[in-house]
Amino acid sequence: MKKLITEEDIAALVSVTDPQYAPDGKRAAYVQTKVNQEQDSYSSAIMMYDADTGTSSRWTYGEKKNTSPRWSPDGRRLAFVSDRDGGVPQLFIMNAGGGEAEKAADIPWGVSDPIWSPDGKSVLLSVSLTSSERADDQEKKKRNEFEPVDIQTLTYKRDGKGLLKGSWTQLVLVNLETGNLQQLTDHEADHYDAAFSPNGEWLVFTANLTDQGDASKPSDVYLMELKSGRLKQITPYSGSFGSCAFSPDGSYIAMLGHENEYRNATLEKAWLYDMKNERLSCLTDMLDVHLSDALIADSLIGGVTPRPVWTNDGQGFYVLGTEQGSTGIYYISIDGLAYPIRLEDEYVNGFTFHPDQKSYIAVIAKPSWPSELYCIPLGEGEEKQLTAANDRFVGEHIISVPENLQYETKDGLTVNGWFLKPARFEENKTYPLILYIHGGPHMMYGHTYFHEFQVLAAQGYAVVYVNPRGSHGYGQDFVNRVRGDYGGGDYRDVIQAVDEAVQAYPFIDRERLGVTGGSYGGFMTNWIVGQTDRFKAAVTQRSISNWFSFHGVSDIGYFFTDWQLGHDLFEETDKLWERSPVKYASQVTTPLLILHGERDDRCPIEQAEQLFTALKKLNKTTAFVRFPGAAHELSRSGHPKQRMKRLNYIYSWFDQYL
């Protein structure tokens, strides 16, 4: 008999990510991640799929994290990053024929994002360094955690990292023959999304080199001539660009980005830089699709969004796109032709093309099946599931299948979402309903397995979750509609979701309604309980309660508040207060549980503290749970035991009041 899904089943899920075909197409490396319960962390292994046998084998062992497998140009070696040696991620090289991996360099600050040079002699790495540190520093001085932090810029902290202490991501080249390190960049800025030209003469990367220290400023793409170190900016100082890839002959650079027309609500577009004519052009002005992954899920650990993948003839490239609750793969030609080659009711997180480009391997999670690898022909033919990492989990558990929900708003918008029945649904019973609101707000729920919703369904709850205005996946106008109207049209959209669900499913007990959400969804939960007494229980997570203070304490608050609320901090303080849920604490009658991570720098815990204090002073029914060390991503990639306890707190609160 199949079992109900529980919070502990987080440890049973396997995350399959980052596939990489070998140059000969006979094998594909990928990463498999699962919970390490003893160490309350995650373990990642490099796996190898053999196309001839149709089987996978493990290439790295132990309980550490082994990630980012990357083939050398000749296919004879595999580079990857591992924390097996002392807990700091380092670059390792393994022969494709097997054997022990060898550490390529000793960089005490850790490394990430390995990229092979075209000649296969070197590997480019990203390293976080302060202005006084060099990657090739032989003294390798240990950082003093008690040293005072001198802050000169607005970007002094980052969620998940804490205080940056003056460190920036620099690009470092490791010569595999000599072991020598060459630091290619040293600006006080993060350098990322690097790529070599096919002839090895140029390096392209993204950085903000004109207004360092302000994350709200544009990010531009730069060309570096490796021989001289000369830099050339190839994008206008007007937006955010990155994810670059050279065409096979080096004539073009494909990239993704936008010109900030709608601030952080702007859709990612595909761009082309002509190396010979030094001209940048947008290829997808007419495509109303966000060319990135904006789908929210909680069962995929370590997903890697691929940069553009060129066709062998250099006439176009493939990218991910977010549309209508799905992510798929889009083809973009250098002439501006754009269309999806794969867009199903599923979540495509990554892909790698076979060298002959007649097929590709994709990481796909489906509504009732967590991530696996699938081989998909480019044309006629059937897809084939290559891995069975989650077969046992799916076979042993009751998984509630989401049903589509769509409705029209009074102002003429179409809102899409899903409804999840209780796992052991019985026709003649009534059930409580939970409205779950996503964060962002410029993200998207979609056609994917969502563990948290399955846990709630297993506890006997129906769940409704929708993409209100402001969500990605439904075009530029839709995603921009929330800006300047928080708590307005978006509030009406999610409340209507409840109305639609109650009407469509008579078994819902309209007297037992709950609401929850995190980040922007936490803000909306706070807003809802201050505006209506319709819900009998609520749980707010990593939320915003006071826009005025959020402006100064969040790692993005100083620009996010301006961009999203549209009110000046100094001249329109009253308007920020009008949109702050804490103002309406006296109107709250719904029992409210407040969950927050203590190291959340995106929505700092003082937001929860303010709300809890206000409600307690007013003798409201509330409780406050703090998660030590937890950052903003607690629910998706935080410590496994904290994730489990968090789920238990949520459904226990609903059990008590619903």
Give 144's pLDDT tier (boundaries 50, 70, 90). Answer: confident
Q: What is each CA distance from 288 to 285, 303, 443, 474, 476, in whole angstroms?
A: 8, 25, 16, 8, 6
Looking at per-residue confidence, does 165 or 606 come out higher?
A: 606
SS3 72: coil
Question: pLDDT band at residue 610, thresholds of 50, 70 and 90?
Answer: very high
Residues 522-572: tens digit of each pLDDT: 999 999 999 999 999 999 999 999 999 999 999 999 999 999 999 999 999
pLDDT score recorded for residue 139: 58
Check whether 184 has a pLDDT greater than 70. yes
What 3-state DSSP class applies to 188? coil
Specify whether the CB–CB gap between 266 and 275 falls below 8 A.
no
Assess whether pLDDT exceeds 90 at residue 25: yes
Q: Is the pLDDT of residue 210 over 90?
A: no
Q: Are strands 326-333 and 338-342 parallel, antiparallel or unpaired?
A: antiparallel
Provide the pLDDT for residue 143: 61
CATH class belonging to 259-366+368-394: mainly beta
Q: pLDDT class for 93, splitting at 50, 70, 90?
A: very high
**Average pLDDT score over the chain:** 96
Residue 215 has pLDDT above 90, yes or no: no
Question: Burial, 195: exposed, middle or buried (Cβ in 10 Å; 0-12, 13-18, 19+)?
Answer: buried
For residue 468, what pLDDT band results from cuts at 50, 70 and 90? very high
pLDDT tens per residue across span 102-128: 999 999 889 999 999 999 999 999 999
**What are the catalytic residues?**
519, 632
Distances (CA, A) of 468 to 41, 414, 436, 496: 34, 9, 11, 10
Q: Is pLDDT at 341 greater than 60 in this prediction?
A: yes
Confidence grade of residue 145 (pLDDT, cut at 50, 70, 90): confident
Decide: 91 and 111 in contact? Cβ < 8 Å.
yes
For residue 141, pLDDT over 60 is answered with no
Residue 333 has pLDDT above 60, yes or no: yes
Provide the CATH topology of domain 402-657. Answer: Rossmann fold (3.40.50)
Predicted pLDDT at 640: 97
Three-state DSSP class for 560? helix
* pLDDT at residue number 237: 81
pLDDT band for position 183 (cuts 50, 70, 90): very high
Quote the pLDDT of residue 494.
98
State residue 299's pLDDT score. Answer: 94
* Cβ atoms of 508 and 525 closer than 8 Å: no
pLDDT bracket for residue 138 (50, 70, 90): low
pLDDT at 85 over 70: yes
Does the structure show a pLDDT above 90 at 134? Answer: no
pLDDT confidence of residue 379: 86
Residue 21 and residue 354 in contact, taking contact as beta carbons nearer than 8 Å: yes
pLDDT at 400 over 80: yes
Whether the CB-CB separation of 554 and 547 falls below 8 Å is answered with: no
In the chain, domain spans: 20-104, 118-137+152-238, 259-366+368-394, 402-657
- Beta strands 338-342 and 112-116, pairing class: unpaired
Region 384-408: what's the mean pLDDT? 98
**Beta pairing, strands 102-103 & 90-95:** antiparallel
Band (142; pLDDT cuts 50, 70, 90): low
C-alpha–C-alpha distance, residues 101 and 77, integer Å: 10
pLDDT at 381: 87
* CA dist list (Å): 578 to 441, 486, 487: 19, 10, 10
pLDDT of 416 reads: 98
